[in-house]
């Protein structure tokens, strides 16, 4: 699918919170507890989103008809999940990769990752890292199928997360 990744504007934060809420409800319908806090997010999560918008780290993803199909946050540093390793240079951290529920299962998440990986390779970035709620074994397998390798675990107040990374090889 032909996708366009656009840096989100600060005044679009409400849209991200609504995508989180819809995704939370969709996961709940599938008996998954992952992201349940997004149905009524605590202040610290809202602040985390606000900071990401203020830093220009959130991106919205649109299809060729300009319909919003997903979003993600791309960080240069991720100490909360990766500790000291979260400051590694030439590494990016993708968080909150969301495909809108009506587009779920259509390969859009993989397409987003391909686009992000291509752009990062062109910038000379060496690693892409992410975390995934370990209770969602299907999603963990999905990231492994995309080429990410489990590099550890992180316990947070909300979940136990698997840490994944992918070495980005420069083309040519």
Quick check: is 79 in a domain?
A: yes
Domain count, the chain: 1
pLDDT digits (tens), the chain, 172 positions: 789 999 999 999 999 999 999 989 888 888 877 788 898 999 999 999 999 999 999 999 999 999 999 999 999 999 999 999 899 989 999 999 999 988 988 999 999 999 999 999 999 999 999 999 998 898 999 999 999 999 999 998 888 999 999 999 765 5
This prediction's pTM: 0.91
Domain residue limits at 154: 4-167
Residue 31, pLDDT score: 84
Beta-carbon contacts of residue 98 (< 8 Å; ≥ 6 apart): 19, 20, 23, 70, 71, 72
Quick check: is 9 in a domain?
A: yes
Residue 97, pLDDT score: 96
Quick check: is 34 in a domain?
A: yes
Quick check: is 91 in a domain?
A: yes
Buried b (16+ CB within 10 A) or exposed e, 5-16: beebeeebbeeb
Quick check: is 172 in a domain?
A: no
Residue 158, pLDDT score: 81
Quick check: is 162 in a domain?
A: yes
Residue 36, pLDDT score: 83
Phi/psi for 56 (5° steps) reads 75, 30
For residue 162, the domain's CATH number is 3.40.630.30
Residue 159, pLDDT score: 86
Residue 10, pLDDT score: 95
């Amino acid at each position: 699918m032909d996708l366009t990744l656009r840096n989100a504007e600060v005044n679009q934060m409400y849209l991200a919170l609504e995508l989180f809420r819809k995704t939370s409800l969709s996961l709940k319908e599938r008996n998954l507890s992952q992201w349940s806090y997004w149905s009524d997010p605590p202040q610290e999560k809202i602040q985390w989103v606000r900071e990401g918008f203020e830093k220009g780290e959130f991106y919205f993803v649109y299809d060729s008809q300009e319909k919003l199909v997903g979003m993600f946050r791309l960080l240069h540093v991720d100490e909360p999940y990766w500790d000291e390793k979260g400051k590694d240079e030439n590494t990016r951290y993708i968080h909150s990769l969301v495909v809108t529920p009506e587009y779920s299962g259509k390969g859009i998440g993989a397409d987003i990752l391909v686009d992000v990986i291509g752009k990062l390779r062109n910038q000379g970035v060496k690693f892409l890292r992410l975390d995934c709620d370990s209770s969602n074994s299907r999603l963990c397998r999905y990231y492994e199928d995309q080429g990410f390798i489990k590099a550890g675990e992180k316990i947070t107040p909300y979940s136990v997360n698997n840490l994944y990374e992918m070495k980005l090889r420069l083309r040519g």
